[in-house]
Amino acid sequence: MSGYTAHKGEYLNQAMVDVARIAKITRQLYERQQFAYLLVDHNWSVIEASANLENYGFGDVRVGDDAREAIDFLVGLDSHSTLDLPIVLSPSQNPVHIVLLPEDESLTVVLMDASRDYEQQQLVQQKANENELLLAQQRQLMADLEQTQAALVTKNTELREASRLQSSFLSGVSHEFRTPLAALLGYVDVLGERLLSQSQEESEEQLKVIRRSGRHLLSLVENLLDHGKFDAGEVVLNPQAIDLQGICDEVHAMLHQGAASKQIALEFDTTPTPLPSCLIDDSRLRQIMLNIIGNAIKFTDEGKVQVIAQCADEQFSLRIRDTGMGISKDDMQNVMRPFWQAPKNGKVGTGLGLTITERIVEMMGGQLKIDSELGVGTTVDITIPAPLIELDQPDINSNRAEHIGARRYLLAEDDPDIAALLKLLLVEQGAEVTHVENGQQAIEIAEREEFDVILMDLQMPVLDGYDATKSLRDRGDKTPVLVMTASAIEADRTRAEEVGCDGYLIKPVAVHEVLSLADELLQNQSAV
């Protein structure tokens, strides 16, 4: 019998004592080091629980309890296997490190504070999140950069194209100016040399060419100036009470001849007829209509141009439909670009008319749309806000007071500040005011249109108020001329009276003075 066999029982007893001692020491160690523990049998029945278990939120665990009811993360675990759960959140949300140490008859559940590990894990997670965020931001920045680079490339292309168009425009416009100028000067020379020798018919034909060339040049210059004004932000709308029907009739009268000379019909339909009066910048509206309808006539060689004008719900809408050459889909993308002209269409121009028209319409708060089919024709739709006029109650409750305001005035004044204010003040009184900047323009417009009174500044460029008044009188125009001048010199008044001025006001003038004197002049005139 070996020594071991002889002393087997003694050894086993000693080993059990040692294990129990170790377990006790370990438990004491756990308690000293603030670990918690739970001793259960393999059916999870609690044999012993450390007193500090409540620090981890498990204070209700008592001997004999089923440990799984109190500590739910034990559910489903094998009570015979070793297990290490580094971080588990207790019911009180404390991070706990749990180790299961099985023995023959029991299982020790060790709970350790895992706050530090948990914080570490949280920090790692936070870092990971931050890294992810940084990566996302970096990706966004890269995308933005790529987008900006793409935009820059596009802008650069556009700038190159704009530069090319401007160069092309400059070379084109030189030709545009040279051709009518050459015709104009050439025919003036011919007229000068042969005035007495050639027939009146020949002279009239040459005069027509001169007039046409001059008008074309004027239109080129006006378009260029307008385009420059828009770019410089100098265009100011000046809405006033206007007769829409009158404007439509006027535009029709101006363009009818041009259409007739191409043997195409120009039809105007207005709804309602007559169109009502409303508040719109009349000169800009006229410009819009002349540009679009003029274009329709220019690009139509057969068929007709139809204009449908409607005013409803304080909106003025225009539809201009032609049976002209139309615009291809590719060219439609370019028609609004400044200086662009359809290649090889055989028509002349600056390529600015449509651009300017669109800018005016937008400035008025309206819209312009173009629909076109190559070889079939083009339709342009324009809508512009058109507030109907609502006059205040008149200060003086008499028909005469209303009548005084409702007159048509021609205002010849070169100072834009004075002209803008005086025109506005008169319009507020219900007057219709046409403004020109010099005496020459006053004469030209007075030949075409009728006015009740002409308000004439004396000092103006091109032709001053004295010469303009004298010229009007020489032509038999008897419209009363009311001078407005900053000069208080008596000699100026005398000279004005000598050339045919009827009234004399020294600036600053009040609008009621203008209305009152104008009324007096008209009464005197009708009494004669």
Partner 1 sequence: MKAESDQVRALRSRYKESLPEKAALVREWHLQETSGGISEAGVDELSSWLHKLAGSAGMYEYQEISDFSRSLMQSMPDLSSQELASRLKKLELLLEGAAK
- Which residues lie near partner 1 (CB under 8 A)? 279, 389-392, 415, 417-418, 420-422, 424-425, 427-428, 457, 459, 484-489, 507-509
State whether the Cα torsion 11-13-14-18 is positive or negative.
positive
Residue 388 and residue 272: Cα distance in Å, rounded? 14
Cβ 429 to partner 1 shortest distance, Å: 10
Q: What are the residues whose beta carbons fall under 8 Å from the beta carbon of 196, sequence distance 6 or more?
A: none
Residue 318 and residue 298: Cα distance in Å, rounded? 18
Cβ 403 to partner 1 shortest distance, Å: 18
Nearest to 233 by CA among 359, 352, 336: 359
Q: What are the residues whose beta carbons fall under 8 Å from the beta carbon of 480, sequence distance 6 or more?
A: 452, 453, 454, 502, 503, 518, 521, 522, 525
Q: Rounded to 5 degrees, what angle do the CA atoms 116, 111, 104 make?
A: 145
Question: Measured from the CB atom, is 365 or 508 closer to partner 1?
Answer: 508
In sequence order, what are the beta bridge partners of 319?
A: 308, 381
Residue 379 and residue 430: Cα distance in Å, rounded? 36
Cβ 417 to partner 1 shortest distance, Å: 5
Q: DSSP secondary-structure letter at 17?
A: H
Question: Measured from the CB atom, is 322 or 457 closer to partner 1?
Answer: 457
Q: What are the residues whose beta carbons fall under 8 Å from the beta carbon of 100, sequence distance 6 or more?
A: 77, 79, 81, 82, 83, 84, 107, 108, 109, 110
Cβ 165 to partner 1 shortest distance, Å: 33
Cβ 284 to partner 1 shortest distance, Å: 15
Cβ 345 to partner 1 shortest distance, Å: 42
Half-sphere exposure of 441 (CA within 13 A, CB side): 15
Cβ 222 to partner 1 shortest distance, Å: 24
Question: Measured from the CB atom, is 336 or 406 closer to partner 1?
Answer: 406
Residue 83 and residue 323: Cα distance in Å, rounded? 91
Question: Measured from the CB atom, is 322 or 414 closer to partner 1?
Answer: 414
Cβ 472 to partner 1 shortest distance, Å: 22
Question: Measured from the CB atom, is 85 or 511 closer to partner 1?
Answer: 511
434 three-state secondary structure? strand
Question: Measured from the CB atom, is 217 or 425 closer to partner 1?
Answer: 425
In one-letter notation, the amino acid at residue 200 is: Q
Task: Give φ, ψ of 198 to 5 degrees.
Answer: -95, 165
Residue 191 and residue 201: Cα distance in Å, rounded? 12
Question: Measured from the CB atom, is 23 or 279 closer to partner 1?
Answer: 279
**DSSP per position, 202-268:** HHHHHHHHHHHHHHHHHHHHHHHHHHHHHHTT------EEEEHHHHHHHHHHHHHHHHHHTT-EEEE
Question: Measured from the CB atom, is 117 or 467 closer to partner 1?
Answer: 467
Cβ 240 to partner 1 shortest distance, Å: 9
Half-sphere exposure of 34 (CA within 13 A, CB side): 5
Cβ 413 to partner 1 shortest distance, Å: 9
In sequence order, what are the beta bridge partners of 322?
A: 305, 378
Question: Measured from the CB atom, is 244 or 509 closer to partner 1?
Answer: 509
Task: Give φ, ψ of 82 to 5 degrees.
Answer: -75, 140
Cβ 367 to partner 1 shortest distance, Å: 22
Nearest to 293 by CA among 258, 243, 327, 340: 258
Cβ 517 to partner 1 shortest distance, Å: 16
Residue 526 and residue 528: Cα distance in Å, rounded? 5
Cβ 449 to partner 1 shortest distance, Å: 23
Question: Measured from the CB atom, is 201 or 417 closer to partner 1?
Answer: 417
Q: Exposed/middle/buried for 343, CB within 10 Å: 0-12, 13-18, 19+?
A: exposed
Question: Measured from the CB atom, is 454 or 509 closer to partner 1?
Answer: 509
Question: Measured from the CB atom, is 358 or 492 closer to partner 1?
Answer: 492
Question: Measured from the CB atom, is 100 or 518 closer to partner 1?
Answer: 518
Task: Give φ, ψ of 347 to 5 degrees.
Answer: -110, 150
